[in-house]
Every structure is written in C-alpha cells, then in structure tokens.
C-alpha cells in the first residue's frame, strides 16, 4: 500500500490528473498494480501503483476527504482510471477456467465465466473513461496493513472482519472486490456496523456528485463525467 507515490513525468491526456497532485492525503492501495486482486497478478497497463483520474472527480474526492478528516477518517482508493488493456484482460481471465487461484476470496459462489453476466465486471467500464473510483474509508492515523504476496492464504472475502484479509479500512462487511451478493450495498445481511459504514461512504460520496453501483459498495461513478463516450488506453505510470 502506498500513501505517497512519486509520479513519473508522464504527460496525461487533457482533463486527467494524478490524484496525489490534487490531494496527497488520500491513501492509495491500487490493487490492480499488485498481486492481491481477483486475477492474482498485476494487470496490463498498470505500470505503477498510483491513481490517475479525471480532474473533476479528483476535486470531488478532495471535497469528500475534507469532510472526513475532522473525524479522523480518510478515503482509501483501490482503483481509479483503468486502461482498456486491463479491461480486455478480464475477458481472457474469465475464459481460463483452469485458473481458480483467487476464487475463495474474490468470487467464492459464482463461476468466473459469469462475472460479466452477473454484472460485476463490464467490458466497457466507467473506469476506462476516467470517471469512476473504487474506494473505502479508513481511520486516522492510518493503521498498518500487511502486503499480500503470492503464496499467502486466500481467505474468503465474506468472512467477518478479523477473519478475512486484514484490510485497514472500516468494516464494510466484505473485502474489496468480493464479487458476491453480500457486497451489494444495501444487503441487509451484513453486520449493523458494516451497514452504517457503507451508508456513511455512500452518503458522503453522493453529496459530492458520485453515484454508487448497487452491487459493489466500493464502486462510485461521477455523475457529470467529462468523457462519457471515450474509453482511454494510456498506461498508469
């Protein structure tokens, strides 16, 4: 996990920014640049664990962060802009039915071939347009979090906090990217505190121009996205 990552001097398309340049206090844990994700490896196009996003979304996230900080809370971003190469890789991964290495944590009850039809992954993504973000809320000061490595246990993402992967976020009822009904934002079967934490995240994000995707408590789209018809494919570096 990186809180402050020095960006290389990549020239971004007009309208895109490095999130850290707008608000370096927002914690970043960019999972698709690492091994701890549902495919089990860094994705094509993720050459650095750093968040890039459209400028309008970055300033909206900064406004959310300003609301949270007085309560000793912070946003933590798992993913923002996502290159089309990475989205295309999801299709290849879904077709490889022999690879089930991350199933226990990330898709314990569904066939990976159905991740698109079940609505958890899209072949055309808001992320690729720069107007979506996956995130959670963490307490301040930032608690420590172990770096998951290949060979580490793959724990069911539906397990109670303390039994699943020890993410340093508030309890949201499941782990990030757990593709399961328990991750649906309004699912009544998660503990009361987790429901309250989801409501806090949803409320503060909606107040600042985002809309939650109802099947994923962590996913939010900027309502007034600047590039609604453009799918970008520049690398994250």
Q: How confident is the model at residue 7 (pLDDT cuts 50, 70, 90)?
A: very low
Does residue 228 sit within a domain?
A: no
Query: What sign results for the dihedral spanned by CA atoms 209, 215, 216, 221?
Result: negative
pLDDT in tens, 71-112: 999 999 999 999 999 999 999 999 999 999 999 999 999 999
Question: What's the average model confidence in pLDDT over 112-135?
Answer: 94
**pLDDT of 139-178, one tens digit each?**
999 999 999 999 999 999 999 999 999 999 999 999 999 9
pLDDT tens digits, one per residue of 33-44: 999 999 999 999
Phi, psi of 27 (to 5 degrees): -75, 145
Q: Which of 95, 105, 216, 225 is catalytic?
A: 216
CATH number, position 71: 3.30.1380.10
Q: What CA–CA distance (Å, rounded) separates 80 from 66? A: 19
Tell me, yes or no, whether 237 lies in a domain.
no
Q: What is the pLDDT of residue 26?
A: 98
Total of domains in the chain: 1
Residue 67: which domain range?
A: 16-222
What percent of the chain has a predicted confidence (pLDDT) above 90? Answer: 95
Handedness of CA 31, 32, 34, 39 (dihedral sign): positive
In this predicted structure, what is the pLDDT of residue 10? 73
Is-catalytic flag, 118? no
Residues 6+ apart with CB under 8 A from 224: 56, 209
Q: So what's the pLDDT on residue 226?
A: 97
Does residue 230 lie in a domain region? no
pLDDT value, residue 108: 96
For residue 17, what are the β-bridge partners? 53
Domain presence at residue 190: yes
Q: Rounded to a whole number, what is the distance in angstroms from the first to the last CA of the chain?
A: 16
Domain annotation covers residue 176: yes
CA-closest candidate to residue 134, choices 41, 57, 221: 221
Token pair, residue 32, equals: 């698709």
Q: Compute the Cα dihedral for 65, 67, 73, 77 and give only its sign.
A: negative
Contacts of 117 (CB under 8 A, 6+ apart): none
Say what the pTM is: 0.94
Output the pLDDT for position 5. 40
């Amino acid at each position: 996990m990186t809180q402050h990552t020095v960006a290389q001097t990549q020239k971004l398309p007009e309208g895109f920014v490095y999130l850290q340049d707008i608000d370096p206090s927002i914690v970043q844990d960019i999972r698709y640049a690492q091994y701890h994700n549902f495919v089990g490896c860094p994705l094509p196009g993720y050459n650095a664990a750093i968040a890039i996003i459209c400028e309008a979304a970055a300033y909206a996230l900064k406004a959310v962060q300003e609301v949270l900080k007085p309560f000793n809370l912070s946003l933590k971003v798992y993913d923002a802009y996502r290159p089309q190469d990475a989205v295309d890789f999801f299709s290849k991964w879904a077709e490889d039915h022999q690879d089930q290495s991350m199933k226990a944590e990330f898709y314990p009850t569904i066939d990976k071939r159905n991740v698109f039809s079940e609505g958890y992954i899209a072949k055309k993504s808001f992320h690729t347009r720069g107007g979506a973000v996956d995130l959670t809320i963490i307490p301040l000061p930032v608690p420590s979090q172990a770096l998951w490595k290949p060979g580490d246990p793959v724990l069911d993402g539906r397990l109670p906090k303390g039994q699943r992967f020890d993410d340093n976020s508030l309890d949201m009822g499941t782990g990030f990217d757990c593709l399961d009904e328990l991750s649906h934002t309004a699912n009544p079967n998660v503990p009361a505190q987790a429901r309250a934490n989801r409501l806090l995240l949803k409320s503060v994000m909606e107040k600042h121009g985002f809309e939650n995707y109802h099947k994923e408590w962590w996913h939010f789209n900027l309502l007034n996205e600047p590039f609604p018809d453009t799918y970008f494919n520049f690398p994250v570096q």
